[in-house]
Amino acid sequence: MAILYGFHAVLARLKTAPSSVDEVLYEQSRKDKRMQQLIDKVKANGVKATGVDAERLEKAAGHRQHQGVVAFAKEITKSNDLFEIIERNGKNTLLLVLDGVTDPHNLGACLRSADAAGVQAVVIPKDKSVGITPVVSKVACGAAETLPVIMVTNLARTLEEIQDAGVWCIGAAGEADGTLYDVDLKGPVAWVMGAEGDGLRRLTRDKCDQLIQIPMVGSVESLNVSVASSVCLFETLRQRQFAR
């Protein structure tokens, strides 16, 4: 059973898989238009809507950042066969590989950007990485419900297998010689992004086909992983759109 909270996450699940939602709890003291629209949407999909107090919502969500709405839903079965996804998308393959992102807000933001840029799957290691938590789902604004997130035991080996499948693996590293704008991104690509602070682990870095940096002219030394992912993914999207 999955616990979703926040307007975006709950509405996204109602839109993509309404039959998976068992019940929605909402803050009964709220009478604003946004809440009423959500209640109407819940009832229109034949889902049970229950008005409760803030204490009940906090207990269900596990904290206070629920925005007044919590949903109980069945887990959605997504195609998590990475190489089936690569085969299906061929030259249009676009993957995001996250090496040890432990902050749920960063992972959620990465998923949101990945979905917007047309990424077909996100790959994360099972160790030293946050999974799909309620916080991740909330920040992802529905992307965690539809985008395959594939957890692997050995990230380095998985990168080798992705390369064997014909996908070019590009790592983002501040010390790289080439820049994002020097690389051709119109073929099948897997972007490999490092964790907060530490960046790519050595073995992950060594397995990449190419390393690039994002040019920066300000005083900061690096970008947040979710911001860096967005920059790289949308440059990929830009190049591919111009190639049509």
* CA gap 110, 107 in Å, rounded: 5
41-44 long-range Cβ contacts below 8 angstroms, 24+ apart: 41/11, 41/14, 42/14
CATH classification code of 82-243: 3.40.1280.10
68 is in an annotated binding site: no
Determine the residue type at 153.
T
Backbone angles phi, psi at 221, to 5 degrees: -90, -25
Which residues neighbour 127 within 8 Å (Cβ) at sequence distance 6 or greater?
none
Return the pLDDT at 115.
95
- Residue ranges covered by each domain of the chain: 2-73, 82-243
Structure tokens at 49: 């809507």
Is 214 annotated to bind ligand? Answer: yes
Nearest to 113 by CA among 235, 4, 239: 235
Joined together, the tokens standing for residue 64 give: 């206070």
Taking only the tens of pLDDT, the chain with its 244 residues reads 788 888 988 988 898 788 889 999 999 999 999 999 999 999 999 999 999 999 999 999 887 888 999 999 887 656 578 999 999 999 999 999 999 899 999 999 999 999 999 999 999 999 888 988 888 988 998 888 889 999 999 999 999 999 999 999 999 998 899 999 999 999 999 999 998 777 899 999 999 999 999 998 887 777 899 999 999 999 999 999 876 5
Q: pLDDT at position 131, please?
A: 87
pLDDT of res. 207: 96
pLDDT value at residue 212: 97
Q: Which CATH superfamily is domain 2-73 in?
A: Ribosomal protein L30/S12 (3.30.1330.30)
- Residue 14 annotated as part of some ligand binding site: no
pLDDT score, position 112: 95
Which alpha helices (DSSP H) does 17-103 contain, by range? 33-44, 54-61, 82-89
Strand ranges (E), 100-164: 121-125, 149-152
Q: DSSP secondary structure string, the chain?
A: -EEEESHHHHHHHHHH-GGGEEEEEEETT--SHHHHHHHHHHHHTT-EEEEE-HHHHHHHHSSSTTTTEEEEEPPPP----HHHHHHHHGGG-EEEEEES---HHHHHHHHHHHHHHT--EEEEESSSS--S-HHHHHHHTTHHHHS-EEEES-HHHHHHHHHHTTPEEEEE-TT-SEEGGGS--SS-EEEEEEBTTTBS-HHHHHH-SEEEE----SS-S---HHHHHHHHHHHHHHHHHHH-
Decide whether 2-73 matches 82-243 in CATH topology.
Answer: no
pLDDT at position 76 is 67
The one-letter amino acid at 228: A
The pTM (predicted TM-score) of the whole model is 0.77
Element (H, E) at 212: strand 210-213
Among residues 182, 188, 193, the alpha carbon closest in space to that of 223 is found at: 193
